[in-house]
Amino acid sequence: MKLPKMTKRYCPKCKKSTEQKIDLYKSSGKRSSLSFGSIIRAKKRGLGTGTGNLGKWGSKPAISKWKRTGAKQSKKSTLKYTCKECKKSTQQSGGFRAKKFEFK
């Protein structure tokens, strides 16, 4: 999908519509220091199993993410709008799905 580099949009700081630059946020969330594969290998060795707070080994399900691979071909966008006048940036609410994002 093609997107323009600049757009006119309402800026909540300036309280009027201004020229704003569009950027794309990285669509995935923050990566943890441990990759998903290394958590699985650690579980096989017996690390991060048991009761109580597991620290860095906890808070993630063991398999579920791999089962879902290939479920969707497109990714949801998060656009960043940077105001030209006050240099404040706002995030797009909602977002839409597309395979690829391009700036004209």
**Chain positions contacting Zn ion, by CB under 5 A:** 11, 13-14, 83, 85-86
Of 54 and 85, nearer to Zn ion (C-beta) is 85
Cβ atoms of residues 99 and 73 within 8 Å:
yes
Work out how close the CB of 25 gets to Zn ion at its nearest, in angstroms, rounded to a whole number: 19
Q: Where are the alpha helices (DSSP H) in the chain?
A: 36-45, 64-67
* Residue closest to 48 by CA, chosen among 35, 40, 64: 40
Of 62 and 86, nearer to Zn ion (C-beta) is 86
- CA–CA distance, 80 with 76 (Å, rounded to integer): 13
Of 21 and 60, nearer to Zn ion (C-beta) is 21
Of 19 and 25, nearer to Zn ion (C-beta) is 19
* Residue closest to 85 by CA, chosen among 8, 29, 33, 3: 8
Dmax over Cα atoms in the chain, in whole Å? 58
